[in-house]
Chains A and B, each alone.
Chain A
Amino acid sequence: MKINNDFIQLINVSKHYEIEAGQFKALKNISLNIAQGEYLAISGKSGSGKSTLLNILTGIDHPSQGEVSINSRQIHSMDESNLSGWRGANIGIVFQFFQLIPTLSILENLLLPMEFVNIIPKKGRNTRAQSLLSDVGILQHKDKLPAALSGGEQQRAAIARAMANDPPILVADEPTGNLDSKTALEVHTIFNKLVAMGKTIIVVTHENVKNNKYDRVITLHDGEIQKA
């Protein structure tokens, strides 16, 4: 399989916020290429700009300057409406606090993005959702509401939901931040399996990461990529 090294491209991306004290530069001229199937960690201390970078990568936020292209698609120029559908199909997001819909069962939480994006055939949705839950080891909880699950189980459900539409990219914001070390290890194991399946995974973390967990680690400091 030919690997696309420019699968995700950030060219001179900057993000500024206007605050009372003046302009705050969250990101400064970031240029970054991420290859297809890469397992990348973005680390940095609180306020370093990593969440901003993640938001820009997912289209949740727009850069003040620069260009973002994902699989040759210029997402910085897409409007919110187009972005939603595109994001649902191409990027799975795992939030720090899981952010499952509290009024839907775990299974329904997986079916919801399939319904929104409508690329998985209706007939196969239930089977696929159960298969994903089985992959992350919580199929037995499929009919429970999120509140009935532990934090680790909720995070597995969130990962399964992120994969609902079989997106090529999975972005995770502090996915193990609220988990104990054993559960955190299980989450990484799941991610490794997904990478092995060819998914591109970008994880944002404030931990001191060990290189051997990821293909590559970039560290942000004051909105800039620190040189290794």
Chain B
Amino acid sequence: MNVSLKKSWNDLKIHPARTILLVFALIIGFWGIGTILVSYSILNNDLNENYTRTKPAHVVLKSDNFDKLNLSEFISQSEIESAEFRDLSMQRIEVYPGKWLPLWLFGVEDFNNFNLAKFYKERGNKVPDSGTMLIERDGQNVRISNLKIGSKPNVRIGKKNINIPVTGIVFDPSQAPATQDAFIYGYTDKKTFQKIVGESANQRLIFRLNNVASKLQIEERTKKIINDFQKKGIVISEVVIPQYQEHPHQFQLNTLLMLNAAIGLLAFIMGAVLVSQLMSAILSQQIRQIGIIKAIGASKVQALKIYLVMVLIFGLASSIVAIPLSVISGYGYAEFVAANLNFNIITTSLPIPLYLLLVILGVFLPLLLSLPPILKGIRVSVHDAINDYGISQNTQSVKIGVLSSLPFSSNITLALRNSFRRKKRLMVTVFTMSLGVAIFSASFNVKRSLEVFLANSRDSMKHDVQVVLKEQAPLKTALEPFDNLNNIERMETWNGGKGRLQTDLISTPNGIGIVALPHNTDLVKWNLIAGRWLKPTVPIEIVMNQQAIEKFGKHTVGEFYPIKIKGKLINTKLVGIIKEFDSPKIYINKDQYDALVNPKHLVNSLMFVAGTKDYNSILELKKEIENAIAMSDLNILYVMSQAERAQIIYDHLNIILIILVFLAFLVLIVSALGMASATGINIIERVREIGVMRAIGATPRIIYNIFVTEGMLISGFSITLGLLMAAPMSYLASRFFGGLILGDNTSLDLTLSLSGLAITFFATFIFGWIASRVPARKAIQVSTREALSYE
């Protein structure tokens, strides 16, 4: 090793504690950023890859006349990539004694040979025995069911219960997670399907098209296919065209990835400031040595090399630890998200460019960022460097008069003046810390806004239990089974179904939920974001939720929109828009709906309001309702209590809330490290000054107090500025995340989190205290003699 390199190395060894602290700080910073980058790389690829590998269907068509279709001939068409009949029937399954969930039961053609909409065997049978079924793995989660291989759950088919044994577990990444949507997915062979469900098979055709790249192209081609079918006498009753190559819960991942990216970027900025500050700290100690080495013949480049090597060692040391840690924790984080969204991590090796990026971040970025302070140090003339005695007489432009007139103790006054000695550094430190405070605080505000939104969603429905019928029934028939139940204060009935908004592609509309309810119902209290609620006027009015608005791209309240319900085209006036966490829905006055398309006043949704509303009473009521249904002829789609509905919504957002606070905490730690380094620099620069103060009578306690007070002052400045920055940041974040979760142009109502505010205050001061206490303790351990002779 040549002597220059040895000097770099020895400079690091001479203060091992400081070097370790510095490398530790860098490791934490890089680790945080690395974790975000690694997980981003994995997640960005894997959910979509999980989904697309299943070769999801481009189009789902339902018809009663598919017996007229020659499937082989259909598949042989050049534009068809693959096709098969994959029947689907919505039933109910008993997941715990007395607890029922919707069952999506698929009738599968051939379990050994999928051409599209694949799923994968996990355990048990690959092909279910006759009369049995496989279930999707997420449905096994104890949070929603006790199903496992060997279970023989009751399945409610029409008016009877049938035991269908579970003989295998499959993984179907193309479905929305069962735990979040509270569904169970079951798979049987065609014969069993027919036998159990009692419906004829081959009524649901799924297919993929060749050479398509967007949903629009699929819609156009599907329109032509449907026309061809009509010519053959095949009438399509339902068309579903999923988002092209997009998992049903992609929105959650998009939100998480955006969170990752946004907070990662901010953490990166703070990490950059940290590196720069740390190098300033080292350089501030080395100024005189720079003078010496230049005086004994070193050129600027040679001196620069010495310090760049030092940074390189820091970068390498921290990278060696931080990069593997980042990979491990990035995978861990991705696994956590994958478990929540029910997909597998399939990235086994990270892309080379990512490793390169990590190396650049870990090794070369510190070099780049420390270049300015190093160059500044190297530029100091030999004359100035040799005359650097450690105590700067330069008071800069601190307004001593103002500060001295403040009624503080001498310790606080000194701490205040010291803080302002290096105004640029103070600004950088306060800005970094306040950015951390702002992100932390804004995260709590967004979290609170989401929680308020959840609470509003829960409170928007005043019923306690909802029963949705699979088939519409006359009012009397629907209500009769529940006549003698206790604890029912009142009932209300709704109707609805699938409708179509008139688009340019009339023949290929997507189904949209139509909810027909009394205009004056007091069971709903929607969050209206535009216009007003329904009135029984002519023309017929509708209210849409924001998802419907986004889906159809029309959102002018007061405009008329034709909707097609049960084949009837109705011109309706959009009078209001509501905000809710639900699929696209259109609300219409039930009387008008009945007059138009429901002359027999059939109902399909029963809303029960309980007399006693405590949790156990509601559960008891739900059980009684289930029992009444079991003894009735009603064909039920699902029974759900409000608590369960709220839980489903919460489950969709919970992962976002957890990650939000976790990332915010990470940012606060990085910013606290920035502050610790700044305080460390202040102390390093003033060791000789500390010696002078000790020599003139300052006790270690006084010195300690001065530095801790400085830290507290910086924390105070940072909190003030951070909270000021948090306000606009929270507003923008609420708009942004509202748009991601609820749909474009929909913001969350910003709510201040008081507990978040308290945690921000507490955490910032604690971090500030620790960040100043550690170097302050170090400072008072130096003896007066050592401090005075400090180089």
Contact = CB atoms under 8 A, between A and B. Distances in A.
B297 to A, nearest CB: 2
Interface stretch (B1-9, B259-267, B489-497): B1-9
Interface stretch (B10-18, B175-183, B452-460): B10-18
A111 to B, nearest CB: 5
B140 interface: no
Given A60-B382, A80-B381, A85 B7 contact: no
B766 interface: no
B295 A93 contact: yes
Contact of B296 (A61, A80, A81, A88): A88
A89 interface: yes
Interface string A6-39: 0000000000000000000000000000000000
Contacts of B13: 103
Contact of A108 (B3, B14, B299): B3
A61 B295 CA distance: 11
Contact of B7 (A55, A99, A112): A112
A117 B297 contact: yes
Contacts of B382: 60
Nearest to B11: A103
B612 to A, nearest CB: 79
Contact of B386 (A95, A101, A104, A113): A95
A116 B5 CA distance: 12
Contact of A84 (B6, B288, B299): B299
B224 interface: no
B297 A60 contact: no
A149 to B, nearest CB: 14
Interface in B265-318: 288-289, 292-300, 302
A113 B297 contact: yes
Contacts of B381: 60-61, 80
Contacts of B2: 115
A52 to B, nearest CB: 9
B383 A113 contact: no
A165 interface: yes
A60 B289 CA distance: 14
B295 A101 contact: no
Given A55-B383, A80-B381, A88 B298 contact: yes
Interface in A75-127: 80-81, 84-85, 87-89, 93, 95, 99, 101-104, 108, 111-113, 115-117
A58 interface: yes
Q: Main SS of the interface on chain A?
A: helix
Contact of B294 (A61, A84, A95, A111): A84
Contact of B289 (A61, A80, A101, A113): A101
Given A102-B14, A103-B14, A85 B300 contact: no
B386 A102 contact: no
Interface in B435-474: none
Contact of B297 (A61, A85, A99): A85
A101 B4 contact: no
A117 B293 CA distance: 11
Contacts of A60: 295, 381-383, 386
A114 B381 CA distance: 21
Given A58-B295, A99-B292, A116 B302 contact: yes
Interface in A36-68: 55, 58, 60-61
Contact of B295 (A87, A108, A165): A87
A161 interface: yes
Contact of A104 (B3, B295, B298): B3
Interface in B589-641: none
Contact of A161 (B7, B296, B383): B296
Contacts of A101: 7, 289, 292-293
B81 interface: no
Interface string A146-174: 00000000000000011011000000000
Given A60-B382, A87-B295, A111 B3 contact: yes
Contacts of A55: 383
B6 A165 contact: no
Contact of B300 (A61, A80, A115): A80
A145 to B, nearest CB: 9
B658 to A, nearest CB: 47
A112 B297 CA distance: 9
B306 to A, nearest CB: 10
A116 B6 contact: no
A81 B293 contact: no
A93 B11 CA distance: 23
B791 interface: yes
Nearest to A165: B297
Contacts of A87: 295, 297
Interface size class of A (residues with CB under 8 A): 20 to 34
A95 B294 CA distance: 13
A84 B298 contact: yes
B296 A113 contact: yes
Interface string B235-267: 000000000000000000000000000000000
A117 B302 CA distance: 10
A126 to B, nearest CB: 11
Contacts of B383: 55, 60-61
A116 B295 contact: no
B290 to A, nearest CB: 11
B10 A104 contact: yes
B10 A88 contact: no
Contact of A93 (B6, B14, B296): B296
Contacts of A111: 3
A100 to B, nearest CB: 8
Contacts of A99: 288, 292, 295, 386
B174 to A, nearest CB: 63
Contacts of B288: 99
A115 B298 CA distance: 9
A182 B290 CA distance: 32
Nearest to B14: A103
B4 A102 contact: no
A165 B14 CA distance: 27
B7 A103 contact: yes
Interface in A201-227: none
Nearest to B295: A93
Contacts of B295: 58, 60, 87, 93, 95, 99
Contact of B299 (A61, A103, A112, A116): A116
A88 B299 CA distance: 9
A117 B294 CA distance: 11
Interface string B374-388: 000000011100100
A17 to B, nearest CB: 11
A104 B299 contact: no
A116 B293 contact: yes
A1 to B, nearest CB: 26
A99 B11 CA distance: 15
Contacts of A104: 3, 6-7, 10
A84 B297 contact: yes
A64 to B, nearest CB: 14
Contacts of B289: 101
A119 B2 CA distance: 15
Contacts of B296: 88, 93, 112-113, 116, 161-162, 164
Given A103-B10, A112-B3, 18 more contacts: A55-B383, A60-B381, A61-B383, A80-B294, A84-B299, A84-B300, A87-B297, A89-B297, A95-B295, A101-B7, A101-B292, A103-B14, A104-B3, A111-B3, A112-B296, A116-B293, A116-B297, A116-B299
Interface of A: 55, 58, 60-61, 80-81, 84-85, 87-89, 93, 95, 99, 101-104, 108, 111-113, 115-117, 161-162, 164-165
23 contacts: A60-B295, A60-B381, A60-B386, A61-B381, A61-B383, A80-B300, A85-B297, A95-B386, A99-B288, A99-B295, A99-B386, A101-B293, A102-B791, A103-B13, A104-B3, A108-B3, A111-B3, A112-B296, A113-B298, A115-B3, A161-B296, A162-B296, A165-B297
A-B residue pairs, 5 tightest by C-beta: A88-B297, A103-B10, A113-B296, A116-B297, A116-B298
